[in-house]
Structure 1
Amino acid sequence: MPCLRLRSPHTPKALGGWVLVDALGRPRYWPTIWADVLRAGLEDSTRCRHLYAIDRLYLHFERQYESDLLDCLLTDCQFDEIESGLLGFLSSLRNQATFDGVDNSSTWASAFNFMLDVIRHVGSWTDEIRTALEARVLRLERLYAHLAPCKPRPPAPIRALPSIVIDDLYRIFNPLSIENPFRNERLRWRNYLIFLLAATMGLRRSEIAILPLDAIKSDFDPATGKECYWLNVDESHYEHEDSRSDAPSLKNSQSRRQLPISQDVLIASDNLGMGHKRSRTHSYLFESQKGKPISLRSIQRIFEIASEHLSAPAKKAILIRGNQCISAHDLRHTCAVYRLTKYMESGIDLDTATNKLRVFFGWSATSAMPRHYARAYFESESADVWTDSYDTFVTALRNIEGDH
């Protein structure tokens, strides 16, 4: 396996994570330097994605030169061989894109930027090498930086869910509804809270899966004279090792954030925790029916079950958008459109509104996602249910809770 994840309890946490290895299982020299030193701030999921792309680059050079020599070429700055290998790699990606219909743009970008980073690092060793390499690095950038292995893709489709689907989902996930498809009270409150975190706070599936038990914090606010509550989106600091085979991780450093929570999230959290105690072997907020940390696949299965219970008009609405079922990420998209709508309606200008989105949803400074939703703002019809139907549902839920 080209990428290995170091997860042994005997390995210091700082040395854990993904590493690229050769055919004999030995860590590759420059990918390890690149990931641990030159790009040390990468989160696990991003690091893994880049390393898989870099592995494809190494395997191409090995095929082209009939030897596993890319580390040597980079160390010795053999530009003629490097350029020839890059051209061959780009051609192979283009051929695959043509025949298989896959998009290799991110693979090319990861591999090419890895090469430039390493060459610049090598070139900084002495003044003589730096001067000699500067012109060759510029040549590489001019020749290849703007090339792509496939044709530009059209803009990604808007995936904000229509109001009829959102309305149905609140009905389905309501823990007190006779239409709730989940088997027992604990599962209903667990799944309802997961739904709220995705729909009203825009959390990614991986962010939901790694929340610790004490993710919700509170403090007294002297200005309002009330207790205020917020959610810390972060990894559990109580776990040395995540036992899940699909162990989730934060996407980037911006993913660590604090978000204010609403009363309905607090109610769902309280109901999940009160009266549903069980012995735990982990510190995560959400667990499976067997008491283990919930898997990413299980979270997706929750939304698949909910999709099966949508009304016929709601199913038709998502089919029109090319979806067979709803995912947690669809709710994240919908939440982003809704929040941008609220920002704009409050009189905030578009640039400030998109910057607010960037902070709230944990996007990096270079992410184009906020602008993507600026377009979605003008096309979405999902906001109406949030102000009317959802408020009505929450009011009814609170009244029912007050009767117990």
Structure 2
Amino acid sequence: MLALKFWYEFWHQKYSTLFCESFLSSKYEPEIFLNEIDNFIVFLENNKKLETNLIRLRSNVDANYMTITQRLRSLFKYFVYLLDEYWNIRYQDITIKELTNRRKKIDLFLLNKKRIFSKFSKYSLTVKSEINHNFKSLTNEMVVMLYKIIRPDQTANINIDNPFSTRSHQLRNFLMVHLMMNYGLRVGELMLLTKRSIKKSLNSDSYSLIIANTDDEHDSRQRKPSIKNEQSYRVIKLDSMDYKFLMLYIEKIRNFNNSDILFTSLKPPYSPLSYSSINAIFKAIEQAFRASHPVYFDDTNIDSIQKLTPHVCRHTWAYITLAFAIKKYRNESASPLNQSNDEIMKKALEDLRVLGGWSANSIMPSYYAKRFIVDSANLMNLQRISQELWKI
């Protein structure tokens, strides 16, 4: 119980909210606690005081490492309970096979951590870092190359890389990836879209995408999608060209039955796409992407990806959107009433939170802020090195 008490104290000090609230708002994502194990160890070493980016180069002579080890073992039992309870198809938007494979990787990760802290003593040499490099998003170059693969065929220019044979399937699948990549939709939100989710303004050329639950009577899916939280109900402005593409899809392709669901099978009985169907589509795209650009999946590169999933698209959107917002606010602050970097970051994070449909207590936007800060700091350091007069 003391181990759990200290864990909750650590979480509240760092995020100003309860761990349970963070875990719930992340839809039971295990990475939120796995990524904090090293930081929690430093927290215990530092007499339960939180210091951002603290790096301990030698052991703390005042810390009892045997006690720390015992508390970590107890905490890991709690983590295993959370995995057993929430890492299943009831709570996660992935297939059973993916659940099983990832659980194996998580169990191996926890086992390796246990081996490390089991060797703790007052003579231990421990180095902890808050930076997590596994951000699971595409670089700008990857995005450009992905779009070249998934773009629908044109009459005079056949795209041989596209893994889907018919133009109807190509346009539907392109729109699904595009909506996730450019508007940050969760896969469940994509599945909730109906033909009536796309709206045009009466008085101007303004277009919107309505994210809400649907009670379509033709939705036969056994595992029905639903809105994640109250903040996920939102209205997203659509680019005019995206509106035209969606209208083309609805009028020319999605016009064959009474169902209102936007993305369905294109063959009888035209069932709404399920989680497994969308995962299969992404798997086909990933295979084509991997065949054309194997270097993007080479784990010897720090910015490589393991696979292409709907969640990778949302990660990519979040980072690109945050970076754009920060740049925009920095340009606007070039005036007599300059905003501080903290104010700029807060505004950009709030924009990201609202657009992405995260709750006010969600810690997810802060992950993207961390990556932006790391990338900016590294760029600044390289620029400094290139300008130093004394460099070799």
Task: Give the 3 Å change call, closer, same or farther, for CA 319–297 of structure 1 in structure 2.
Answer: farther
| 2:247 corresponding residue in structure 1 | 270
Match for residue 294 of structure 1?
A: 273
- Residue identity matched to 2:213: E
169, 185, 188: which is aligned to 2:146? 169
Task: Please tell me whether the aligned partners of residues 162 and 317 of structure 1 are also in contact (alpha carbons under 8 angstroms).
Answer: no
1:327 Cα deviation from its structure 2 partner: 0.5
Of residues 224, 234, 254, the one that matches 1:247 is: 224
Please report the RMSD computed on the Cα atoms of aligned residues, expressed in angstroms.
3.5
Equivalent residue for 1:219, pick from 193, 201, 216:
201
Cα separation, partners in 2 of 1:191 and 1:153, compared to 1, 3 Å = farther
Superposed counterparts of 1:239-388, under 5 Å: 239=217, 242-290=219-267, 291-310=270-289, 314-320=293-299, 323-347=305-329, 349-378=344-373
Q: Any conservation in 2 of the 1:337–1:377 contact (CA below 8 Å)? A: yes
2:163 corresponds to: 181
277 and 354 in structure 1: CA distance in 2 versus 1, 3 angstrom threshold: closer
The residue type equivalent to 1:264 in the other structure is M
Shift of 1:235: 1.6
CA distances 1:163-184 after superposition (whole Å, capped 9, x unpaired): 2321121011111252322121
Unaligned runs of 5+ in 2: 1-20, 30-71, 87-113, 118-127, 331-343, 377-392
CA deviation after TM superposition for structure 1 residue 257, in Å: 0.3
**Which letter maps to 2:252?**
G
Q: Is the CA contact (8 Å cut-off) linking 2:286 and 2:308 kept in structure 1?
A: yes
User: How far off its partner does 1:334 sit?
Assistant: 0.7
Q: How far, CA to CA, are the matches of 2:27 and 2:356 in structure 1?
A: 22
Counterpart Cα distance in 2 of 1:313 and 1:244: 34
* CA deviation map 1:230-250 (0-9, x unaligned): 1001122443x7421222111
CA displacement, residues 342-398 of structure 1 (integer Å, 9 cap, x when unaligned): 1111125000110111100000110011111111224569xxxxxxxxxxxxxxxxx
Distance 1:344 1:216 in 2: 29
Q: Equivalents in 1 of 2:229, 2:239: separation in Å?
A: 25
Which SS does the other structure have where 1:377 is aligned? helix
Aligned counterpart, 1:393: none
1:303–1:325 CA contact under 8 A, matched in 2: no
The yes-or-no answer on 1:190 pairing with 2:169 is no
Q: Deviations over 1:304-336 (max 9, x none)?
A: 111111265733223425744200110111111
Structure 2 length-normalised TM: 0.56
**Pair 1:175–1:341, CA change in 2 (3 A):** same
Aligned length: 250
CA change 1:380–1:261 in 2 (3 A) is: farther
* 2:147 maps to amino acid: Y
Determine if contact 2:26/2:362 at 8 Å carries over to the other structure.
Answer: no
After superposition, what is the alpha-carbon deviation per residue over 1:83-142, rounded to whole angstroms, capped at 9, x for unaligned? xxxxxxx98884485xxxx5738969xxxxxxxxxxxxxxxxxxxxxxxxxxxxxxxxxx
Equivalent residue runs for 1:92-103 within 5 Å: 94-95=76-77, 102=80
Change (3 A) 1:330 1:220: same
* CA gap 1:266/1:292 in 2 versus in 1, 3 angstroms: same
Q: 1:259 to 1:346 in 2, by over 3 A?
A: same
Deviations 1:198-252 (A, max 9, x none): 100010011001111111111134xxxx32101001122443x742122211111
Are residues 313 and 374 of structure 1, via their aligned partners in 2, closer, same or farther at CA, if it must alter by over 3 Å? farther
* Partner SS for 2:141: helix
Matched AA of 1:293: P
2:82 matched to 1:104?
A: yes
Could you state the TM-score of these two structures normalised by the residue count of structure 1?
A: 0.55
- Unaligned 5+ residue runs, structure 1? 1-41, 51-89, 109-149, 382-404
Superposed displacement of residue 154, structure 1: 6.5
Whichever of the two has the greater Rg, that structure is: 1
